[in-house]
């Protein structure tokens, strides 16, 4: 009998949970706990960290997990690195359900940087109106560039005072439409978009909107992760689960 642990927090994780529930597979979806109002799920949910590699390894063993699927955000590097090591130590097959990275197309004006500190350095200079499309995790780093007016789009209302002195906060949950993001950028007179290369369709509207309006994009590259089996579609994961189960892996 398969006992699947999904490391989630993405639309892909939700889609996989739904597919597994429809098939009658036993699965648990694990959240890091950063979103206050996560979507309802068709499988049992656990929230919070595992306590590093050792904690995740112990969880896999104690709960007799047969398959581990990493469907976390492409920038959840620590969790993904821990998953690779824990799966190996526990002898549990691991697959990553991840989105292909975005690629620039004609009309895009992208500048790529390798990480958040590089992005902070890249926005040094004169004051601009910046659409900082990074969620709430990295706001404090951009306090080093307080000259800008930052427009933030957050899933949950901020708790307490934000670390940036000049902000406009929009509370909204994706997926977003190109027309909506075009309106947002026009309404707030955006001059620069800063975002992570998350990939997928749910957050790509801002790129199309920026392209149409001729707004430059500062694109933060994905972190480099250890080698692992990667898949881009739920159907691929289901085939992998069935194949590995038939092989007794």
CA atoms within 13 A of residue 119's CA, in its CB half-sphere: 27
> Coil, strand or helix: which one is 105?
coil
Architecture per CATH, 3-100+224-246: 3-Layer(aba) Sandwich (3.40)
Q: Could you tell me whether strands 230-231 and 94-97 are parallel, antiparallel, or unpaired per DSSP bridges?
A: parallel
Q: Which sign, positive or negative, has the C-alpha torsion 176, 180, 184, 186?
A: positive
Residues 241 and 233: their CA atoms lie apart, in Å, by 13
Can you give the pLDDT at residue 142?
A: 97
How do residues 71-119 score in pLDDT, each as one tens digit? 999 999 999 999 999 999 999 999 999 999 999 999 999 999 999 999 9
Token duo for residue 235? 């159907």
Query: Which residue in this structure is represented by tokens 């036993």?
Result: 26
Number of H helices, E strands in the chain: 7, 12
For residue 172, say if its preceding peptide bond is cis, omega within 30 degrees of 0. Answer: no
Residues in the chain: 249
Residues 63 and 3: their CA atoms lie apart, in Å, by 8
Residue pair 188/151 in contact (Cβ under 8 Å)? The answer is yes
In the chain, which residues have pLDDT < 70? 33-38, 245-249
Q: Of 196, 197, 195, 199, which is closest to residue 232 (Cα–Cα)?
A: 199
Can you give the pLDDT at residue 35?
A: 54
What does pLDDT average to over the chain? 93
Can you give the pLDDT at residue 38?
A: 64
Q: Looking at domain 110-220, which of 2.30.30.140, 3.10.290.10, 3.40.50.720, 3.40.30.10 is its CATH number?
A: 3.40.50.720
Can you give the pLDDT at residue 137?
A: 83
Residues 21 and 7: their CA atoms lie apart, in Å, by 16
Can you give the pLDDT at residue 33?
A: 67
Q: What is the rounded end-to-end Cα distance, in angstroms, of the chain?
A: 12
What one-character DSSP code corresponds to residue 180? H
Can you give the pLDDT at residue 203?
A: 85
> Which residue ranges make up each domain of the chain?
3-100+224-246, 110-220
Q: In what order do the strands lie in the sheet with 45-47?
A: 45-47, 26-31, 3-7, 67-70, 94-97, 230-231
């Amino acid at each position: 009998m398969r006992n699947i642990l999904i490391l989630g927090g993405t639309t892909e994780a939700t889609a996989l949970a739904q597919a597994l529930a429809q098939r009658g597979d036993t699965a648990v979806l694990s959240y890091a706990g950063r979103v206050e109002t996560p979507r309802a799920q068709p499988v049992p949910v656990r929230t919070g960290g595992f306590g590093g590699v050792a904690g995740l390894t112990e969880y896999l063993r104690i709960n007799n997990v047969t398959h581990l699927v990493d469907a976390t955000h492409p920038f959840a590097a620590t969790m993904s690195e821990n998953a690779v090591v824990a799966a190996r130590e526990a002898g549990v097959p691991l697959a990553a359900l991840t989105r292909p990275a975005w690629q620039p197309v004609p009309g895009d004006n992208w500048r790529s940087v390798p990480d958040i500190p590089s992005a902070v350095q890249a926005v040094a200079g004169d004051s601009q109106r910046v659409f900082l499309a990074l969620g709430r995790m990295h706001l404090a780093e951009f306090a080093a560039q307080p000259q800008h007016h930052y427009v933030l789009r957050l899933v949950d209302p901020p708790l307490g005072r934000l670390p940036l002195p000049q902000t406009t906060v929009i509370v909204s949950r994706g997926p977003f439409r190109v027309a909506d993001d075009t309106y947002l950028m026009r309404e707030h007179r955006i001059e620069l978009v800063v975002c992570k290369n998350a990939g997928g369709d749910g957050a790509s509207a801002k790129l199309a909107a920026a392209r149409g309006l001729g707004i430059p994009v500062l694109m933060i590259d994905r972190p480099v992760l250890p080698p692992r089996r990667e898949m881009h579609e739920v159907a691929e994961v289901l085939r992998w689960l069935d194949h590995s189960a038939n092989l007794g892996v």
